[in-house]
Chain A
C-alpha cells in the first residue's frame, strides 16, 4: 500500500479538523501546575513515567556500582577489599535493587509512559493512583539507600531465606529493611498493574479491538495480570509473616513451634519465579515494534506472539519448585516442575522464530536499537539453553546455588531484559525527549555491552561447575578459581564503561541531540502519531483505529473522533473487546494527596519495624488523605462524540 512519510506535517496526520485554540485549551486543562507544588501534585502519566524511568535507571546504576564493588572483591583469591559483612550487605542490596527497584519498576515505567500513548488515550486510567505508586517506590529507594549508608542494609540475600533472615540469626533491623522495601515496591507494582490493565481494557482508542492491540501493550497487559497474582504472595510472606516473626515474635517459620522453614521458600518462589517473567515479558514487548520498524515489515505471527505471551504467563506460575530441587521434595513432584520448566522454553522459542522470520522477510536497517535486539537473540538463547539444563533435577542438584546459576540468570536478565531495554531506549528516547540519541556512541555502547556481558558471565559457567558456590565473599587460592574470576572482573569493567557511554550519550543528546520530529523511524504505532514529546493531552483528537498498524495502513489522513470536552479533563471509555465508544469519564486533576498518602504508608511500614503504634498512627493519618483524595465535584460533559471522517465510522 503506501509508505508512511516521515515529513508529513502534524496537521495531516492528526486530521484537518485540528484547531489551535483546541490545543491551547486542552493544554491549559491537562498540564500539571508549575512550580514546586505542581511538581509534587503532578499526575500526568508521562511526567510520572519519565520520573519513574529516571529513578529506576539511577537504581540500575546503583546496583551496577554494587556489582562492580563485589567483582573487585572477587578479582583475586582471599582479597580483603570488602569483609564478609560489607559483602553480604552489598550482594543483598544488589539483588534487591536490581529485582525490586530496577527491573520491575523500569518495565512498569515503560508501560506507564507508553501504554496510554499506544492505545490512543488521553491519559492513564487512575492518574492519582499512578502518582501514589511512584511516591511509594521513591520511599523504598530512599529507605534502602539511607539504610545502606547507615550500615543497616539487609544482609540475608534478596531471597531472605529463613531461618537466616529470621529473628534468631539476623539481629537488628537489617532484614526488616528488606521486608519493608519489598512492601513498597509491591504496592508500586500492583498500582501500576491495575492502572495498565484498566487503561488497556477500557481506554483504547475506538476501533482498537483486542486483536489490534500492539504487542508492546499485550506484553504489558499480560505482565500486569501476573503482577496481580504474584505480588500478593511475597506481600504475605515478607510483610506479614517474616516481619511479624521478627517484630512481634510469631512462629510462622519456627519449626520448633510448628512453623515451617520450607514454607518461606514456597511463598517466596511462587512470587520469585513469575517475577522473572514479569521482567522478561515486557522486554519481549519492546522487541516486536523495533523489529517491525527496522525490518520495514509487519511482524510475522501476531497471534502466535500474543498466545506465547499468555502461555508463558500461565506456565510461569507452575515452576517455582525448580528453585528448590535440593530440598527434600518428593521425586514425582520435582519431575512435574522439571516438565513445566522445560515447557516454558517452547513459547519463548516460538517468539524468537517469529522475529527471525520477520527480519528474514524484511529488509533490516542496522540501527543501535536493532543491534541490541540481535544482541538479545545471541545472549538470551544462551541463557535459555542453560535454563533448560537447570530444569533437569539431576543436573540442577549439581549446578544449584553455584556460579553456573549466576551466569545463567545474568545471561537471561541482561540478555533477555536489559538488552531489549537499551534497544527500547534508543528507539523511544526521541518520543520521550524530542531528540535522537547519538548512533555513534550507541554503537560503542552496544559492542562494549555485548562483549562485557559475555566476558563477565561466560567464565562463571565454568567456575560454577568447578565448584564455586554463589554468595561467597572470597575463595581460597588453592581452589584455582582465581584466573576466571579476574576475567569476569575485567568483563564487569567493560560493562561499566558501556553504561557510562550510554549515560554520556543520554545526557548530551537530551541537551543538544538532533531534533526528532514526531516519527523519526517511520514506525507504525499510535505513539508516533503525536508530537515528540507528546503534549499533556497526548492527542489533539482521539485517533480512530482500523488496523494493527495504524500509521502504516492509513492512506490519506489519520481518522479521529472529536467531541470530548476541552474545558475540563474528559476521557473516552470504550468497551473491553471491540473498543466501541462506551462512556465519557471525568478525569482527576493533579493532587497532593497521593504524595501525602505515600508518606503515610512510609510511616506505617517503616514505623512498623520499630513499634506497632506507628501502624495505627500512620493509618489514622492516611484517613485524612483518603478523604482529600475522594473529594471532587462533578461537571457537565462535553458535546457529542463524532468520528471524522464519517466514512470510517461504519468500519468499526
Chain B
C-alpha cells in the first residue's frame, strides 16, 4: 500500500514538472498586468559615468513564450519594421538575423533600442506601443537570430518565404555583447 502511494507521488511530481516546464512556453498571457520596462539607459559611447555597468543577461518576459513571440512577429509586420529591416535580413536598417548587434543583443538593450530609438534612423516606439508589445517585439527579434529557446520560436508565417523560419535558425552566440561602440554599423 505504501509503495503504491509513493508511486502516486512520483507520478504527481512528474506531472508537476511537465506542467511547470510547458506552462511557461505555452501560456497565452491574455489579461495580466503588463511587464515593466527595464531600468536601462541608451549609451552612445564606451565612456560611462560611475562604475562599469554590468550587462544584464536576463531573458525578456516573452522570450520563452511562443504566443508572445508570435504576437511580436505580427507586430513586426503591422508596425512596418520590414520597411527598414526587411524580413530581418536588413535593408535601409541593419539586419536582425545575423550575429552582429550594434546596440547589444540582450533583451534590455533591444528593448531600449526599440523604445528609445537609435541614431541613424531608428525611431522611438515608446509612445506608440505598450511595454508589453515592445517586449513581444524583443522576443521576436531575438528569435530571428536564434537567441530565444527553440521551442518558443515561430515557424514560417503565411507569407512569401524570404528567409528561413526562426524555428530553423541555429542557436546563435552573438559576437558583440552590446558594449557600446564595440562594433560599427555595417
Contact = CB atoms under 8 A, between A and B. Distances in A.
A151 B158 contact: no
B167 A249 contact: yes
A171 B158 contact: no
A150 B156 contact: no
Nearest to A147: B22
B18 to A, nearest CB: 5
Interface of B: 15, 18-19, 21-23, 25-28, 30-31, 66-67, 69-70, 151-152, 154-161, 164-165, 167-168
Contacts of B67: 171-172
Contacts of A146: 15, 18
B169 to A, nearest CB: 11
If over half of A's interface residues share one DSSP class (helix, strand or loop), that class is named, otherwise mixed; here it is loop
Contacts of B158: 163, 166, 168, 254-256
Contact of B70 (A171, A251, A255): A171
Contacts of A83: 30-31
Given A151-B19, A173-B26, A251-B161, 19 more contacts: A146-B18, A147-B22, A149-B15, A150-B15, A150-B19, A166-B158, A167-B156, A167-B167, A168-B157, A171-B69, A172-B26, A172-B152, A173-B66, A173-B151, A247-B155, A249-B167, A256-B158, A256-B159, A610-B151
A541 interface: no
A167 to B, nearest CB: 3
**Interface size for chain A: under 10, 10 to 19, 20 to 34, or 35 or more residues?**
20 to 34
26 contacts: A146-B15, A146-B18, A149-B15, A150-B19, A150-B21, A151-B23, A166-B158, A167-B157, A167-B167, A168-B154, A168-B155, A168-B156, A171-B66, A172-B26, A172-B152, A173-B66, A245-B155, A246-B155, A247-B167, A248-B168, A249-B165, A251-B156, A254-B158, A254-B161, A256-B160, A257-B160
A172 B165 contact: no
Nearest to B164: A249
Contact of A85 (B15, B21, B28, B154): B28
A50 B138 CA distance: 53
Contact of A150 (B23, B28, B31, B69): B23
Given A172-B25, A173-B151, A254 B30 contact: no
Given A85-B30, A248-B168, A152 B22 contact: yes
A76 interface: no
Interface in A238-273: 245-249, 251, 254-257
A105 B159 CA distance: 39
Interface in A83-134: 83-85
Nearest to B168: A249
A257 B165 CA distance: 14
B72 to A, nearest CB: 10
B26 A149 contact: no
A264 to B, nearest CB: 13
